[in-house]
Amino acid sequence: MIFVLIVTFCFTCTLVLAFFHFLFREQNELAERLKKFTTSQARQKKEEEDELSKPFSERVIRPVIGWFSTLVTRFTPSRSREKLQQVLQFAGNPGNLKAHEYQALHFLLVALAALMGWSLAWLSRKGFLEQFVMAFLLGLIGYLLGKVYLSNRARQRQQAMQKELPDVLDLLTVSVEAGLGFDAALLRVIEKSKGVLAKEFVTTLQELQMGKSRREALRDMGKRTGVDDILTFVGAMIQADQLGVSITKILRTQADQVRMKRRQRVEEKAMKAPIKMLIPLVFFIFPSIFIVLLGPAAIQIYKQFLGGR
């Protein structure tokens, strides 16, 4: 009898729960839908605000360049893109542009320059041949400007790193000799020095903290910079890591060699200075001196000959 009562009670409770669940199911579904709709609206509004907060170049210009770069990628070989990506790394990735994006921007610059040349020739009422020549010349100037800008930026950045390397190596050597580990010494160098090379060490330290081995991080830094002295330093550090040689001795030796190389480069430039001065000396300074010194004498001789006649 008790078993029958228990079963009846459980069955009754189940029916009551099912009834209330069925009764409030529509309300719960409606509440869930309203919650999802409100959440989606808030998320969409937040995304719109984030999108509008971005600068104009990120919202408009970069998508246009990305769309055009997909077309450019189809007609450019992969080897040229890899070479351009390497040059962009040497230049410090200006604008965080990838190789195909920079190519697209470069081609747009050439097209705009050519269109400007054609427009100027057309407004001047030139013939078709003059219009074509003007468009070709300005397009060529735009193409050369893109090449010269990137190569100059890469060269200036490499020269800056080459100039900063001796001081950075001295600070790194002192930090390691004071008892710091290589990672802590890199952090000290980053804190105490400023410049292009310090930013490269920041990237290297971040790669080390993310779990990349010291060899790979240093090798990647050498590939990003492309400076011979840094490549020599990276090779020495990798070899010391492989052979178990003391890092302190390697750093001291590399610092001395880099300073000696910098002194030799300065002496080389000083020896080249007189040769470079010959061109303005012969073509500009000497003629002025001759005119000042021999001019009055030439005038007097000319007057004497005329007076003799």
Whether pLDDT at 135 is above 50? yes
pLDDT for res 39: 60
- DSSP result, the chain: -HHHHHHHHHHHHHHHHHHHHHHHHHHHHHHHHHHHHHHHHHHHHHHHHHHHHS-HIIIIIHHHHHHHHHHHHHHS-HHHHHHHHHHHHHTT-GGG--HHHHHHHHHHHHHHHHHHHHHHHHHTT--HHHHHHHHHHHHHHHHHHHHHHHHHHHHHHHHHHHHHHHHHHHHHHHHHHTT--HHHHHHHHHHH--SHHHHHHHHHHHHHHTT--HHHHHHHHHHHH--HHHHHHHHHHHHHHHHT--HHHHHHHHHHHHHHHHHHHHHHHHHHHHHHHHHHIIIIIHHHHHHHHHHHHHHHHHHHHHHH-
CATH topology of domain 159-265: Receptor-associated Protein (1.20.81)
> Which tops the pLDDT comparison, 47 or 116?
116
Assess whether pLDDT exceeds 50 at residue 108.
yes
In the predicted structure, residue 19 carries a pLDDT above the cut 70: no
Query: Where does the pLDDT of residue 15 fall: very low under 50, low under 70, confident under 90, or very high at 90 and above?
Result: very low
Confidence of residue 68 (pLDDT cuts 50, 70, 90): low
Once rounded to an integer, what is the mean pLDDT over residues 271-296? 83
pLDDT surpasses 60 at 5: no
Task: Kindly tell me if the per-residue pLDDT of 103 is higher than 70.
Answer: yes
pLDDT of 211 strictly over 60? yes
Would you say the pTM of this structure is higher than 0.85?
A: no
pLDDT at residue 249, as a whole number? 83
